[in-house]
Amino acid sequence: MLSIIVPAYNEEEVLYEFYRRITGVLEGLGLPYELVFVNDGSRDDTLALLESLSRQDDRVVVIDLSRNFGKEIAVSAGIDFARGEAIVIIDADLQDPPELIPALVEQWRNGYDNIYARRISRDGESIIKKTTSFLFYRFIRGMTQIDIPADTGDFRLLSRRAVDALKQLPERNRFMKGLYAWIGYPAIAVDYKRDPRYAGETKWNYWKLWNFALEGITSFTEIPLKLASYIGGFVAFMAFCYGAYIIVDTIVFGNDVAGYPSLIVTILFLGGIQLIFIGILGEYLGRAFSETKRRPLYFVNKIIKK
Ligand code: UDP
Ligand code: MG
């Protein structure tokens, strides 16, 4: 059986069209399947629409979370619930074309565990978004040993053993793209063209994307922390040399009390470096803090099934 996991947050405008297209594809596939929608605390009519879908179609299951937890956690909830031999994670907004699913299934039959859809073009997204995302992937790939494929999202098929591996990762700060890569297992890409959103609007803004990038960096590399010791060490060394020079200079030539520019530059520079690294420490500490609380990832309000 195939489980399709669909996180949905305020998607009332696209759900019917999504349902129509994906059932068309799935019925053509000839495999038994379940469609697991995770309602991530939507404030519009998403839940009501999903309920009516589940009344019409007994392959539809709706997991209604107790509030909005964010896409990564909604996907995790779907993964915990899915019973299929293979699961497909797909967005509700039709940016991930359901028509690609047969190609994913074919690679699964060829023995791959993690078949990720790789976008070769993205229509309907701004130049800034494309560039920042391009830079982010190169940056994070340069910083960690884990091979996080560029230009992929959550749209993918995972085999049962890959899903079981994923379920064993207990972290609360879930940078899914990193986690999919971290579990290992044979992986392969299937290329597709990313369409613009069918309707509705994206839930991402640059602030969220920035935090998402921080999440990825802090959960998959300690290089920023190491940088703190190296740059700190280097700056301390320079400060020491400069101090020695000042002492010698004062002893040999006397001191006519100038030095305001060098003083202020040094103070500002050291202050700046310290603040940056306190900030980096804070990012890691904050995440360590949220991990130690060991809170459950999510709560389910109700599960709707015919
Ligand atoms: N989503 C979610 N919870 C959220 C935000 C988004 O479940 O807090 C879902 C959303 O309904 C969609 C998918 O995640 O199915 C991708 O969201 P979106 O299209 O806004 O992201 P983008 O495609 O712009 O990266
Ligand atoms: Mg989208």
pLDDT of residue 123: 67
Closest ligand 1 atom to residue 6 Cα is 15
CA dihedral over 76, 203, 206, 132, signed as positive or negative: positive
What distance in angstroms lies between residue 214's CA and the mean position of ligand 2's atoms? 20
- CATH top-level class of 2-201+297-304: alpha beta
- Whole-complex ipTM: 0.93
pLDDT of residue 52: 92
251 is written with which tokens?
């002893």
pLDDT digits (tens, 9 = 90+) for 30-87: 899 999 999 999 999 999 999 999 999 989 999 999 999 989 899 999 999 999 999 9
What distance in angstroms lies between residue 129's CA and the mean position of ligand 1's atoms? 15
Closest ligand 1 atom to residue 11 Cα is 11
Domain assignments of the chain as residue spans, ordered by start: 2-201+297-304, 223-293
What are the angstrom distances between the C-alpha of 161 and each of 82, 88, 164, 294, 299?
Answer: 13, 14, 5, 25, 25
pLDDT of residue 124: 66
Residue 43: CB atoms within 10 Å: 10
pLDDT along the chain (306 residues), means of 10: 94 90 90 94 92 91 93 92 94 89 93 90 75 82 79 89 90 82 89 76 78 82 80 81 82 76 80 81 83 86 87
- Determine which residue's CA is closest to atom 13 belonging to ligand 1: 91
Probe target for ligand 1 pocket from 9, 90, 205, with the most ligand atoms within 8 Å of CB = 9
pLDDT of residue 196: 73
Closest ligand 1 atom to residue 201 Cα is 20
- Determine which residue's CA is closest to atom 19 belonging to ligand 1: 202
